Structure 1
Amino acid sequence: LEKFDRKCVYCGKSGVVLNVEHIIPKARGGSNRVSNLAIACVQCNQKKGAMPIEDFLKKKPALLAQIRKQLKTPLRDAATVNATRWSLFRSLQAMGGAVAVGSGALTKFNRHAFCVPKEHWLDALCAGRINGVADWENLRPLQAYCIGRGSHKRTRTDKYGFPLCYFSRRKRPNDFGTGDYVRVKVTRGINAGIWTGRATLTNGKLSVETKVGRVKATFQNGKVLFKNDGYKYQYL
């Protein structure tokens, strides 16, 4: 479902009953390997029957090439979650908090029963045996994703490997660095006021990423709240 975006691979319909589809039919020696499986609506599944996919899509070569490309797409994210979920569960239990778990079918049942839209972060509210989900409309998930801490490389090279320019050796002028979460005070201009956000250093000058855009500031009127830890945080 995740690989094919919960849509029929042949007609693109979503929100309908989907069947597991064998690209090479089992009647012709096809296997149950993941690389031979797709999802299709009932109508397309019955229409294709035991036909080879080359014959079924002989008038749609672009769609055939797209399906073959999708079949080879690895599910890295899903594999990572499956490999680490029980370790995460045991770690959360060891912290002493109340942790609820349940099957995907139970999560889907709760989501439909309490009219909660399909989102990964809302699925966490619907997991396990629950009596209801209240006030989810006013919740905002905090997204954290890895951006790194910059590069050790202090030159930029051309296609032959010769240096084009050199970067400053100091990555933290005035103890500020790109990725730090800072609070700055702007004393003049249309952006006058106090702003907090992620700092960006360009040509030795300080800017802060805010809800209204990028605000320029000075080092003298700024304070580092916490330094860059390699992740960027934002509310969705």
Structure 2
Amino acid sequence: MLVEQLSAGSQEVKAVAARELRLMAKIGKENRSFIAEGGAIPALYRLFRSTNPVAQENALIAILNISIHDENKRKIMEENGCLELIVYVLRYGLTTEARENAAATLFSLSAVHDFKKMIVDEHGAVAALADLLMQGSPRGKKDAVMALFNLSTHPESWSQMLNMGAVSALAGALRDEIVAEEAAGALTLLMRHHILAQIIASEDTAITNLVGLMKRGTPKAKENAIAALQEMCIHGGLNVI
């Protein structure tokens, strides 16, 4: 019934149906599996282009909740056009909450290694995450940096991360205590490529901020800062050292 309402109802009915699925998907693996198997994923992601902000936001959060169940991640990624529309909401969502939840959805999906490069290669995804990291709310920055961290673990992601502004955004995030720990972790992974080690070292205050994080951060932040400085020295060359 809810899936039928998503497909054939008015915008208001679709918003309500998406909300019900969102709430159902929040509770329990069985619900998430049942919703996905019932054909809700394509009906939900078609609402990502809705002009009704409530419908768009509820549909996005429903997909986010469904994606928590690992088996559903592949179903979402295999839906033709779904990833593209998640990125669409990340870039052009009608509300801040919708954009933030799109970033959280990419974070959830990027937990699977096979999907990292697909997300990196999706037009606008990395650039939009970088923008949210620089300009988002505290929650949005957290979702964005966690997604970028996951994407940084793929060895072929570095060029897109550089070209789309993510490397610069992560270096700048070292100044923000909300996301500095995760930003340092992502930079550590990226600096295994000597080009990025040199570029990051040349960023204004990057070294200073890593040293400051090493001195004043949380235990995990200190660990990440030390690891980042080590990778910088190993791969950046004598000038960086």
Structure with the bigger percentage of strand: 1
Asked if these proteins are the same fold (TM beyond 0.5), I'd say no
Q: When the two structures are superposed, what TM-score results if normalisation uses the length of structure 1?
A: 0.21
